[in-house]
Amino acid sequence: MANRPSLASPTRPPLWRNATFLKWAAQIGVLFGVLALGSVLVGEAMANMRAQGLALDWDLLTDPPGIQLGEGIFIKPSTGLEAFYTGAVNMLRVALSGIVAATVVGVIVGIARLSSNWLASRLASVFVESFRNIPVLVQVVFWFFFASTFFPVLEEDSSGPIPGVLLVSRKGVSFAWPFPQETFWQWGAFLVAGLLTARWAYRTRMRRAEELGEDTRPGTWALLAFLAWAVVGWFAHPLAGAIGWLFMLLAASVGAIPVLAYQVILALISLYLGWRWINRFLDSRRSPAGLAKLTDDDYFRMILAGALGAGGAAVLMLLPAATEVGTNVVQYLLEFCDQKFEFLRSGAPLAIGTPSVDVPGRFPQIASTGLTMTPSFFGIWMGVTLYTASFIAEIVRGGILSVPKGQSEAGYALGLRRGQLLRMVILPQAFRVILPPLGNQYLNLSKNTSLGIAVAFPEMVQVGQTMFNQTGDTIQVILIWMAFYLSISLLISVLINYYNRRTQLVER
Amino acid sequence: MDNGAANPIIVCENVKKWFGDFQALRGVTTSVAEGEVVVVIGPSGSGKSTFIRCINRLEQHQEGRIVVAGIELTSDVRNIERIRSEVGMVFQQFNLFPHLTVMQNITLAQVWVRKRSRSDAEERAMALLERVGIPEQAAKYPGQLSGGQQQRVAIARSLAMDPQIMLFDEPTSALDPEMIKEVLEVMQELAGTGMTIVAVTHEMGFAREVANRIVLFDEGQIVEEGPPSEFFANPRHPRTKMFLSQILSH
C-alpha cells in the first residue's frame, strides 16, 4: 500500500521535458529549417551567378536556337521551346513504347522461366542473365551499331522483307501504319460515344445475366456496340464536326468572364479542399464509440492542411497572373479542339501509310510514308526495353513464386485448368507483389532513355546539351531537365501508387 | 461395409510412391464404398496425407492402380480433370483465395469448371453458406474471417462442385479448440447426408462417432483397418496398440 505511486495530481514536467511540446517544436523546427536552407541555397546560387555575370533569364526558350535535330516534330526548331518540346515528345515515344514492350516481354519471359518445359525455362534464363548483366549503355550502343551495320543497305528499289508492310535497312526500320488524318478527331467523337455505349451495354447485359441466370455474352455485346459506332462514325463523322461550335462557344465564354471571378472561385475551392481534408481526417479517426484521442501529429497535419488551403487561396487572390495563365491555357486548349472539328469536313479519318523509298538527292532515304524507327531510335528502344524486360521477368517470377503452393493445389482440386488457375488465382495475387518493384522498373526505363545521347537520339538530354552548347545557359537547361524528369517520374509514381492501393488485400 | 466391397467408389491396388529416394507409399491396397466414411490416422510421415493427395492427383503415384468413380487415374489429362471435378478436397491451411470474397471463392470454379450461370452459382453458394452456418459472411474477404469460418467456407467451396467424394487433409489441425468443434459439426452433418468421405484427422472423437472404418497408416503401409468399435476396443496389431496408447493417454 505504501509503495503504490500516488495517482493524484501528476506533476507537470518542465517545458524542455514535455513530450508534447518537444514534438511540436521539432515539427515547426524542421519546417523552418527546410525553408531556411532552401532560401539560403537559392540566394547563394543567385548571388554567385550575378557575380560571374550569368543571368538566370529564360530567353533561350524564345530565341531561335540555331540547331538541327535528328528526328522528331521540329527538326529545325525555330525557338528553344520547340526544341525542348521535340526532345520531350521523342523521350515519351521511347519511354511509353518501351514500357509496354518491356512489360509484355518481361511477363512472357518470367512465366517461361517457371515453365516445366525445360527448353523454355533455359532460354528464359539465358535471356535474363544476358540482358541484366550487360550495362544498359553498352546494349544501347550495340543495337545502334547492329542496326546500322548488319541491316541491308538501302537501295532505290529496296522493299524490305515484306514488301509494302515492313522495310528493314541501315537507314531505319519502316512499317505500314494507320496515320490519323485531319478528320480523325471527328471520328474520335464517335469512338468515345462507342466506348460509353459499350460500357453501358456491358453493365446492362451483366445485370440481365444475373436476373436470368444465363450467359448473356456481355463482352460480345459491348464489342458489337463499339464496332457499330466506329463503322457508322467512319461515314457519318462530317456531322460530328458540329461539335467544333461547342468548343468555340466555350472558348469565347472562358475569355469573356473576368479573371477576378475565376480567382474568387478557385480561392474558395482551395479553402474548401483544406476544410474537406480536415473533415475527412476527423471522420477517419471517428468510430461508433466516438472520436479517438488525437495525437500531436494529427493536430499538426490538420493545421498544415488548413494552412495550405488558406495559403493557396491567398496566393490565388494576390497573384492574378497565375489564374490568368491557367485560363489562357484552357482557352488555348478549347480553341485547339475547335480547329479539329469542322462541320461537314469529310475524308477518311485514318490512312494507311506504307514504307517506301525516296531519292531526294544522290542517296536514297526512307520516305516518311510509313512509321519509321531510325537506327538511333532502334538502339535506345531495344537497349532500354530488353534491359528492363530482364528485370521485369525476375520480378514476375518472384511474384508468382510468392503465391503459396496451397493456392494452386486448391485450384487444381476444384478442377481449374492451368491457364484458368494462372489467370484467376495466381496472377491476381502475384500482381500485388509485382506492382511496387514494377513501378521502379518503369521509372528506371524512363530515366534510362537519357542514354539516347550516346546514339545521337534527340531526346531531352541530347536536345538540352545541344542547346547549352549553343547558348551557354547551363543552369536553365539543367533546371528544365530536372523539372521534366521529376514530373514524368512523379506521374508514374502516382499511377503506380493508385493501382497499388486498389490491389491491396483486405485483412482483419 | 468391411473393406467397402459393396459398391466401391475408390479402388487402390498396390499404390507406390517415391519422393526421390524416400518411399512414401509402399503398396497401399484398399477400397472405399459409396457413402462410406473412412478416417485415416497414423504418425506424421506415415504417408497418410500423400495417400489421399494421390486420390485426386495432387501427387502422382508411380506404381499400382487408382480408380475413382469408375475412372482410372492415368496421365490422361481428361481423366485427371474428370476425377478432380468429382472429388472435393479440404486442406489443413484452408487455401482460400485471399483476393476474392467468400462468395467469389465459392462461385469461381462453379462458373469456370461447371459452367453455371453466375446467378445459379451464387444461389448455390448462398445455400451452402447457410448449410455451414455463415451466410452473413458472403461479402467478406477470407482475411476477415476466423480460422473456423475460413475452413467452413473451404468446405462450402468444395461442396459447390457437387462432388461424389470429399477428401479432408487434417482439416482441424490449424484451428483453435473451440473452432475445431464448429468444423467437425459440419463434417458430421455431411457424413449424415451419405457423402463418401476420406479424412485424415487426429480427432479421435470424430473417428469413433462418425467413421464407418478407421485405417491406420505406418511407414507407407496400411497396418490395420476396421470399424471403430473393433479398432479401438481390441486392436490386433502391436503397432496399433502402441499408437492408440500414445494418442489416447492424454
Residues of B in contact with A210 (CB under 8 A): 118-119, 122
Say if A435 is an interface residue toward chain B (CB within 8 Å): no
Distance CA A493, CA A498 (A): 8
Distance CA B215, CA B29 (A): 11
Would you place residue B169 in the very low, low, confident or very high pLDDT band (cuts 50, 70, 90)?
very high
Averaged over successive runs of 10 residues, the pLDDT of chain A (508 residues) comes to: 56 80 86 94 87 80 88 90 94 95 95 91 95 95 94 86 89 91 92 95 82 73 94 92 90 89 93 93 81 80 91 92 90 91 88 88 85 93 97 95 93 90 89 90 94 94 91 88 92 87 70
Please give the model's pTM, rounded to 2 decimal places.
Answer: 0.76
Return residues 108-147 of B near A (CB < 8 Å): 108-109, 112-113, 117-120, 122-123, 140-141, 143-144
Say if A420 is an interface residue toward chain B (CB within 8 Å): yes
Between chains, do A213 and B119 touch, taking CB under 8 Å as contact? yes
Between chains, do A416 and B112 touch, taking CB under 8 Å as contact? yes
What residue segments make up the domains of chain A, in order of their start? 31-56, 80-176+354-502, 250-351
Instruction: Kindly report the CATH number assigned to the domain that includes residue B77.
Output: 3.40.50.300
- By Cβ distance, the residue of B91, B109, B117 closest to A215 is B117
Between chains, do A213 and B120 touch, taking CB under 8 Å as contact? yes
Angle, vertex CA A426, rays to CA B98 and CA A204, nearest 5? 75
Residues of B in contact with A505 (CB under 8 A): 98-99, 141, 143
Between chains, do B97 and A412 touch, taking CB under 8 Å as contact? no
pLDDT at A214: 63
Between chains, do B109 and A215 touch, taking CB under 8 Å as contact? no
Q: Measuring CA to CA, how many Å separate B119 from each of A39, A400, B199, B203?
A: 64, 31, 32, 37
Residue A300: half-sphere exposure toward Cβ, Cα within 13 Å: 15
Residues of B in contact with A429 (CB under 8 A): 97-99
Angle, vertex CA A65, rays to CA A63 and CA A70, nearest 5? 145
Distance CA A341, CA A242 (A): 7
Q: Check: CB of residue A487 under 8 Å from CB of residue A495.
A: no
- The torsion angles phi and psi of A334, rounded to 5 degrees, stand at -65, -45
Distance CA A354, CA A370 (A): 5
pLDDT at B3: 45
Topology (CATH level 3) of domain A80-176+354-502: MetI-like fold (1.10.3720)
Count of the separate structural domains present in chain B: 1
Residues of A in contact with B87 (CB under 8 A): 413
**DSSP string covering B176-211:** -HHHHHHHHHHHHHHHHTT-EEEEE---HHHHHHH-
> Based on the number of CB atoms within 10 Å of its own CB, is A362 exposed (0-12), middle (13-18) or buried (19 or more)?
exposed
Which structural domain, as residue segments, surrounds residue B222?
Answer: 2-248
Residues of A in contact with B89 (CB under 8 A): 410, 413
What mean pLDDT is reported for chain B?
90
Residue of A nearest to B143 (CA): A507
Between chains, do A429 and B58 touch, taking CB under 8 Å as contact? no
Say if A322 is an interface residue toward chain B (CB within 8 Å): no
pLDDT in tens, B77-104: 888 888 998 899 999 999 999 999 999 9
Residues of A in contact with B96 (CB under 8 A): 410
What mean pLDDT do residues B32-54 have? Answer: 92
- pLDDT for B37 beyond 90: yes
Return residues 153-172 of B near A (CB < 8 Å): 154, 157-158, 161
pLDDT at A210: 65
Between chains, do B91 and A410 touch, taking CB under 8 Å as contact? yes
pLDDT at B4: 42
**How far does the CA of residue B124 sit from the closest CA of chain A (Å)?**
12
ipTM of the complex: 0.93
Backbone conformation region of residue B57, classed left if phi is above 0, alpha if psi is from -120 to 50, else beta: left
Q: Running DSSP on this structure, what letter comes out for residue B143? A: G
**How far does the CA of residue B230 sit from the closest CA of chain A (Å)?**
34
- As given in the structure block, the three cell numbers for residue A486 are 521529376
Alpha helices in A354-455 (DSSP H): 375-401, 405-413, 418-421, 427-448
Q: Check: CB of residue A336 under 8 Å from CB of residue A244.
A: no
Distance CA B168, CA B210 (A): 14
Task: Count CB pairs under 8 A between chains A and B.
Answer: 88
Say if A419 is an interface residue toward chain B (CB within 8 Å): no
Say if B99 is an interface residue toward chain A (CB within 8 Å): yes
Between chains, do B143 and A507 touch, taking CB under 8 Å as contact? yes
**Contacts of A261-264 spanning 24+ positions with Cβ under 8 A:** A262/A323, A262/A326, A262/A327, A263/A316, A263/A317, A263/A320, A263/A323, A264/A317
- Percent pLDDT > 70 in chain B is 97
Say if A412 is an interface residue toward chain B (CB within 8 Å): yes
- pLDDT for B174 beyond 70: yes
